[in-house]
Amino acid sequence: MKIKGRAIFEGKAEGTALVSSSPMSFYGGVNPETGEVTERGNELLGQSVKGKVLVFPNGKGSTVGSYVLYRMAKNGVAPCAIINAKCETIVAVGAIISEIPCVDNVDISKIVSGDRVRVDGATVKF
């Protein structure tokens, strides 16, 4: 399947999808050293986002979250791409400063954890 979204930060990446159906907070919600999701109540709790195509509806929480994504990228534990239903400031800024390909305006209900996903500019293939 191929979906055309909107490129927030253009780039190419390919990886395994990790899908959260609820909004994600990186500040306090993901461990910047390991990439492990630590937010209680999130279905991805305990899983690592490292190297994954991370799919979630939108970001939430503190704007410090942008810096957490940057730190994850520096530590080599960031997702290889981010797909959102509707991107907001925290994730957009985080993706840009960390140079993580990021696409939004995507119907994320079509993607399931474990899917092989390719991101190229505004296009998502899986």
Stretch that binds another protein, among 13-21, 36-44, 47-55, 91-99 (CB under 8 A): 91-99
Q: Where are the alpha helices (DSSP H) in 1-126?
A: 65-74, 89-98
Interaction between residue 122 and another protein (CB under 8 A): no
HSE-CB at 7 with a 13 A cutoff on CA atoms is 13
Centroid of chain to Cα 29: 13
Residues written for the chain: 126
- Verify whether residue 62 is a known catalytic residue: yes
- Of the residues 19, 68, 77, 81, which one makes contact with another protein according to CB under 8 A: 68
Interaction between residue 71 and another protein (CB under 8 A): yes
- Residues 108, 27: Cα–Cα separation, whole Å: 23
Residues lying near another protein in the complex (CB under 8 A) are found at 6, 8-9, 32, 62-64, 66-68, 70-72, 74, 87-90, 92-93, 96-97, 104
Q: Which residues are catalytic?
A: 62
